């Protein structure tokens, strides 16, 4: 088999907690977030803490405006509804895409929660190859976060037969690498920053003093990581409290339709 038959085109995928469009300068600016995203030139974007609504009367919806500016399709899952506005997670794609699943993740609280932690699964078509993309934003509480991480690698999400390799799980997991919830994910999928040959993994939070690696991109076996790391520049330091995490991936064209090794010890690798 020729090398060209084994390799597909590169895919740029971005995860970004946009902090309700609120920058560290206390300015609400969806346009500035759109500028950050455009500068990264991604094919697919996973956003967390997305505010849906209007900054001023007569303006169009903020999330829709960002997607329109970027020329991307928008899929949105609300996690908070308050005073006629919604906040949540989103997937944007410049390629043909379709929504597969959009649901809340498990909670350990018997009381109604202010923020309904959720995941959003979108299938993206790139050069005849279907790539499964799951965006998630997990709880700040460690026990609940572990429950949600277990759900993500379980049969409803990454372990679902339709979430076949090649697949990407990404988002703000509120889980540094030493946490149990991170290890639960990393034991089943590959952390793109660890597969990056260009240096040590870098923290993504806080933009004023980055010390925590909370945002992650995880990939399945057929995906090669060409590069992965936070995007740090003057604009990203003020646009949000998280740095965007950009991964350049390559999907082998002849990836199997089912997850290789799925029947072997339940591994997603």
Domain that holds residue 246: 11-251
Domain for residue 264, yes or no? no
| Region 127-141 average pLDDT | 95
Instruction: Write down the pLDDT at residue 202.
Output: 96
Domain for residue 5, yes or no? no
Instruction: Write down the pLDDT at residue 267.
Output: 57
Distant-in-sequence, close-in-space partners of 116: CB < 8 Å, separation ≥ 6:
78, 79, 80, 104, 107
Instruction: Write down the pLDDT at residue 52.
Output: 86
CATH number, position 137? 3.60.10.10
Residue 222 has pLDDT above 70, yes or no: yes
Q: Lowest-pLDDT range, 44-48, 99-103, 254-258?
A: 254-258
Q: What number of other Cβ atoms are within 10 A of residue 135's Cβ?
A: 27
Instruction: Write down the pLDDT at residue 115.
Output: 73
Domain for residue 230, yes or no? yes
Instruction: Write down the pLDDT at residue 269.
Output: 57
- The whole-model pTM stands at 0.89
Instruction: Write down the pLDDT at residue 46.
Output: 98
| Region 132-158 average pLDDT | 97
Confidence of residue 110 (pLDDT cuts 50, 70, 90): low
Domain for residue 6, yes or no? no
Domain for residue 57, yes or no? yes
267/41: higher pLDDT: 41
Instruction: Write down the pLDDT at residue 88.
Output: 93
Residue 265 has pLDDT above 60, yes or no: no
Q: Lowest-pLDDT range, 42-46, 63-67, 212-216?
A: 63-67
Q: What letter would DSSP give residue 106?
A: P
| Region 156-173 average pLDDT | 97
pLDDT tens for 2-60 read: 434 445 678 999 999 999 999 999 999 999 999 999 999 999 999 999 988 765 565 66
| Region 234-256 average pLDDT | 89
| Region 142-159 average pLDDT | 97
Give me the number of domains the chain comprises. Answer: 1
Percent of the chain at pLDDT above 90? 74
Which helix H or strand E contains 74, and what residues bound it?
strand 73-82
Residues 64-100 as b/e (b if ≥16 CB within 10 A, e otherwise) read ebbbeebebbbbbbbbbeeeeebbbbbbbbbeebeeb
Domain for residue 113, yes or no? yes
197: region left, alpha or beta (phi > 0 left; psi from -120 to 50 alpha): alpha
CA nearest neighbour of 166 among 121, 221, 216: 221
Distant-in-sequence, close-in-space partners of 84: CB < 8 Å, separation ≥ 6:
53
The dihedral built from the CA positions of residue 16, 20, 24 and 27, taken in this order, carries a sign that is: positive
Instruction: Write down the pLDDT at residue 263.
Output: 46
Q: Which residues pair with 17 in a beta bridge?
A: 48
Instruction: Write down the pLDDT at residue 69.
Output: 96
Rounded to the nearest 5°, which phi and psi values hold at 49? 55, 50
pLDDT tens for 185-210 read: 999 999 999 987 778 999 999 999 99
The dihedral built from the CA positions of residue 256, 246, 230 and 49, taken in this order, carries a sign that is: negative
Domain for residue 226, yes or no? yes
Domain for residue 2, yes or no? no
Which helix H or strand E contains 32, and what residues bound it?
helix 30-40
């Amino acid at each position: 088999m020729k090398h060209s038959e084994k390799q597909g085109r590169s895919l740029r995928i971005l995860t970004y907690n946009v902090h309700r469009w609120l920058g560290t300068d206390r300015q609400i600016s969806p346009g500035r977030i759109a500028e950050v995203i455009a500068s990264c030139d991604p094919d697919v974007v996973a956003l967390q803490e997305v505010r849906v609504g209007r900054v001023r009367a007569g303006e169009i919806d903020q999330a829709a405006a960002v997607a329109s500016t970027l020329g991307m399709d928008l899929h949105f899952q609300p996690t908070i509804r308050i005073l006629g506005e919604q906040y949540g997670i989103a997937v944007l794609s410049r390629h043909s895409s379709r929504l597969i699943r959009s649901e809340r993740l498990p909670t350990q609280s018997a009381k109604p929660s202010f923020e309904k932690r959720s995941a959003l699964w979108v299938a993206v078509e790139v050069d005849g190859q279907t790539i499964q993309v799951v965006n998630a934003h997990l709880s700040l509480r460690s026990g609940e976060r572990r429950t949600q991480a277990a759900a993500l690698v379980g049969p409803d999400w990454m372990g679902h037969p339709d979430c076949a390799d090649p697949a990407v799980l990404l988002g703000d997991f509120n889980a540094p690498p030493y946490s149990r919830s991170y290890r639960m994910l990393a034991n089943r999928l590959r952390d793109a920053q660890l597969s990056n040959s260009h240096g040590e993994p870098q923290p993504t939070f806080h933009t004023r003093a980055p010390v925590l690696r909370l945002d992650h991109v995880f990939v399945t076996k057929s995906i090669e990581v060409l590069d992965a790391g936070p995007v740090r520049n003057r604009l990203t330091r003020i646009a949000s409290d998280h740095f965007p995490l950009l991964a350049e991936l390559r999907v082998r064209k002849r990836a199997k339709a089912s997850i290789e090794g799925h029947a072997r010890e339940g591994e997603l690798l």
